[in-house]
Structure 1
């Protein structure tokens, strides 16, 4: 690689990186995160396109910006770890595709994306060291000294001319007197320098997208031809052979049939539980262990029925696998019902919502296993189907206001609102953030209008609720914090007016 081919490319990327760092400093440093994350993502995607102008010659190139824009849209709704993760993944795929370094296939794209994100924090440091090595190899006079020499004369004489103009022109002299070098140095903060370096390392990975080379080196080191297996019977053939797998499937189906029958009796049929055992305890005991059971079953099926293996072609084994996986799907559905019963008693939380989503993904994965066996698809097809389902689920979840969902459910099913269940955990509701304001308002209004005059939440929570709203409104005055979700919340608060909680009537004192 010559200095002529190396320097313009690096200079263009370094220039774009510096501009992006300056923009990141203006949008993010010491500022709340809101619509600015979406704006920065759009500018960064434009810079990526500018780094690869040749990619615009492709007639279908407009599909990539449309897909990227759709992936960035959740940032407009709300900035959350999930929406930021979706945006980063989409930007990485977009940058790799424009650079011509993306291998097609959902499973391959997922693997390349993981490698890209692992190597991204170190890409700038590695490229900088490589540039220095190339510079030394080409000679100091050709790059480093030449680059300094072309500016040395210009800057030296420019400073002399500026000093002369300052002596001759009182306006320029006044301008120069306003420059306080010590004040400028004091404004440079160590935290800000670290932020600049991190921002530069982050944007550089997208401006010069590359995948780490150790994977290709590992593949080259591996033998090209598979090692021939011995024709003699081994312990693995006995333990994991056709006969062993057949017997294992018979035993597994019998065990799972017992569990399925118990769930059908107590969960679906509503039969009375043994003395001392509540439905909540029954649900809590089984929700998560059954998911682990389903995952172990999926791993066993994948290992036992590898494509092209002797077991995969046996009709009886395939039918037993279908039956067993179907029972696993029923168990996952039972786990979701168990969790629903538990939530109905002990309220909803972020972790329990995540458990519902996870159980649904496990059920879908088991269904894909049946489809793979029935349609004789490859393992790559199975992985791609699961990745597509996971990606669609995460993208949809980035639009859901889980804080409002949890708050509304817990308020509507609380002891204070329904007369049954558990008392509302107001402190957890407050920790959910501004999204819980509407539900908390309904709850406080209900407490104030009923006979629950001695409820402990009525003493402190109205004032805390007002303080939280004042703090949130002060943050929203900064345009950087805007999001579509916050805009909708602001409309609700404006229509509601000042928070008014009816004060409970004090009981009258008897005459003495």
Structure 2
């Protein structure tokens, strides 16, 4: 849906930014508001280039922060997340609140207002009478009857959906132009039950045990994964790499939660030198564990190729390693919980922004094609079905493969797959609702490489599978 209305969506988002900047000068004067507004503009540029749900979500967060930051400085990422959720939950009632305030202001100033009941009562007779007389004239005069018959009323379902869409768009815009003051007045504190303190002796025993167990796992990874030693019979490197990648990340996350829950700054455990050394050693081992998970994934990619999920997993592992390093830094330097939360939120925002700008599908496809051209049969098998499912993201990589294909059969299959993707992209580009800058660049690149015309294919009109192979029988 978002991809099919890129221009309209981008223009609406840009208009939203302009309206917020013009109607609320405090946003421009506030440093935080100006930065958030600049980030919202960056996400609009991303929507113009290639719209995606992630870019739209980041734009909503940025422009909402721009509307609220002039009223309260950024203190805690979790508190601000709850404030944004509060503003979103109360957005439907904000217009009613403002209308009520307008009515109350009129009453205080004795300004005469328009009563809806009086207007309805005044219109009943003229409207009903006019409808009656027009119906009589239509039955008596064929010219009037034909005129009424030629009037095409809009479909009721279409009208309802357009009204719902208009309301869904106007509510968040109204919430940023007229934000609820209670949202920023809240200090972000939530009453809760304090976590029990863990004794220093228990912490030392637990951390020593954890370090020994983690040392065993890391020793096995160093022996077989990092050094490249031969695995025992019946265990392949692909199996060893694939099975442990995600489980080890869960292990590292649990370790981070344990440290956060039991070693808060100012606690007895955090003040103990022995505990601090054991925690430092344990977090370092967790970082090695995350690095081993990344290496396992890279080994699996080396054997079976890159996918969007595997690329996203590598990005996630880097983010987990950053979080562990920040936990260690907080413990050693005595940083506050707010500092740790904001640092992790900033790292996550940077990663999500990069993922919104970069096409992960195109990155994975380009990696597979580059490896296939460099290593040939010695590299991982090239999954043409996967490239076919990626659509426009694989258009340029398919054209690159087609240009470098040696065999006539392979060139025929790649030409078919490339032309199918190129035709779909060209059809989307022909519609103003589906046109994007990124696909325009892709089409221009492919046309410069292989031309705008369809390739000469074997068995024209016959069905093919996702690999581009002829399967026999005419295409449906």
TM-score range, shorter chain: 0.7 to 0.9
Q: Are positions 1:32 and 2:1 aligned together?
A: no
Tell whether the 8 Å contact from 1:72 to 1:86 is kept in structure 2 after alignment.
no
Contact 1:122 1:201 in 2 (8 A): no
> 60-69 vs 468-477, which deviates more?
60-69
The answer as to whether partners of 2:308 and 2:360 remain within 8 angstroms in 1 is yes
Name the residue aligned to 2:384.
426
1:112 is aligned, of 80, 91, 96, to 80
Check conservation: 2:416, 2:455, Cα contact below 8 A.
no
Q: Deviations over 1:110-130 (max 9, x none)?
A: 532443246426513454267
Q: Is the contact between residue 121 and residue 202 of structure 1 (CA under 8 Å) also seen in structure 2?
A: no
CA distance in structure 1 between the aligned counterparts of 2:234 and 2:397, rounded to whole angstroms: 35
The change in CA–CA distance for 1:501 and 1:442 in structure 2 (over 3 A counts) is farther
Q: Secondary structure at the match of 1:419?
A: helix
Tell me how far apart the structure 2 counterparts of residues 292 and 351 of structure 1 sit (CA, whole Å): 17
Q: Structure 2 unaligned segments of length 5 or more: list them.
A: 131-145, 460-476
Displacement of 1:53 in angstroms is 4.0
SS in structure 2 at match of 1:276? coil
**Aligned pairs for 1:488-507 within 5 A:** 488-496=441-449, 497=451, 498-500=453-455
SS of the residue aligned with 2:267? Answer: coil
Task: Report the secondary structure of 2:4's partner residue.
Answer: coil
Q: 2:426 aligns with which of 454, 470, 473?
A: 473
Once the two structures are overlaid, the 10-residue window that deviates more, 131-140 or 462-471, is 131-140
- Given candidates 60, 81, 91, the residue that maps to 1:88 is 60
SS in 2 for 1:33: helix
Is 1:249 matched up with 2:207?
A: yes
Counterpart selection for 1:41 from 13, 18, 41 = 13
Deviation per CA, 1:374-393: give whole Å up to 9, x if none.
Answer: 11111111111111111111
Which residue of structure 2 lines up, in the alignment, with residue 508 of structure 1? none
Partner Cα distance (1:279, 1:418) in 2: 21
Gap change, CA 1:114 and 1:77, over 3 Å in 2: farther
2:251 equivalent to 1:293? yes
Q: 1:382 aligns with which of 329, 340, 343?
A: 340
Query: Do residues 206 (structure 1) and 163 (structure 2) align?
Result: no
The alignment covers a number of residue pairs equal to 436
Name 1:450's counterpart in structure 2. 407
Structure with bigger RCO (C-alpha 8 Å, 6+ apart)? 1
The whole-number CA distance in structure 1 between the counterparts of 2:320 and 2:32 is 35
Moved more, 40-49 or 471-480: 471-480
- Structure 1 window deviating more from structure 2 (491-500 vs 62-71): it is 62-71
CA distance in 1: counterparts of 2:381 and 2:36, whole angstroms: 50
**Contact 1:416–1:424 (CA under 8 A) maintained in structure 2:** no
How many angstroms apart in 2 are the aligned matches of 1:45 and 1:147?
A: 38
Alignment of 1:12-411 (within 5 A): 32-53=4-25, 65-98=37-70, 100=71, 102-105=72-75, 107-108=76-77, 110-117=78-85, 119-120=87-88, 122-125=90-93, 127-128=95-96, 131=99, 135=103, 142-145=112-115, 182-186=151-155, 188-210=158-180, 216=186, 240-411=198-369
Give the conservation status (yes or no) of the 8 Å contact 1:35–1:483: yes
Counterpart of 2:115 in 1: which secondary structure?
helix
CA separation of 1:470/1:303 partners in 2, compared to 1, >3 Å: closer, same or farther? same
Select between 489-498 and 383-392 the one with higher mean Cα deviation: 489-498
1:310 to 1:442, Cα distance in 2 relative to 1, 3 A: same
How many angstroms apart in 2 are the aligned matches of 1:401 and 1:59?
31
Query: 1:47 and 1:134 mapped to 2: Cα distance?
Result: 21
* Inter-CA distance 271–42: structure 2 relative to 1 (3 Å threshold): same
Contact 2:13–2:44 (CA<8 Å) still a contact in 1?
A: yes
Report the CA distance between 1:410 and its aligned residue.
2.5
Separation in 1, partners of 2:353, 2:28: 27
Report what 1:484 is aligned to: 437
Residue 212 and residue 346 in structure 1: after superposition, are their counterparts in 2 closer, same or farther (change >3 A)? Answer: farther
Q: How many Å separate the matches in 2 of 1:255 and 1:470?
A: 56
Equivalents in 2 of 1:91, 1:59: separation in Å?
A: 14
State the superposition RMSD in angstroms: 4.1
TM-score by length of 1: 0.73
Conserved? CA contact 2:36–2:62, under 8 Å: no
Residues 131 and 467 of structure 1, relative CA distance in 2, 3 Å threshold: same
Asked if 2 retains the 8 angstrom alpha-carbon contact of 1:412 and 1:418, the reply is no
- Distance across 1 between alignment mates of 2:23 and 2:150: 36
Deviation at 1:190, TM superposition (A): 3.1
TM-score (norm 2): 0.78
Whether the aligned pair in 2 keeps the contact of 1:445 and 1:501 (CA below 8 Å) is no
Shift of 1:490: 2.2
**Deviations 1:260-308, CA, capped at 9 Å, x for gaps:** 1111111111111001111110011110111111111111111221111
Check the 8 A contact 2:4/2:434 in 1, yes or no. yes
Given the superposition, is the C-alpha separation of residues 387 and 393 from structure 1 closer, same or farther in structure 2, using an over 3 Å criterion?
same
CA distance in 1, matches of 2:323, 2:26: 40
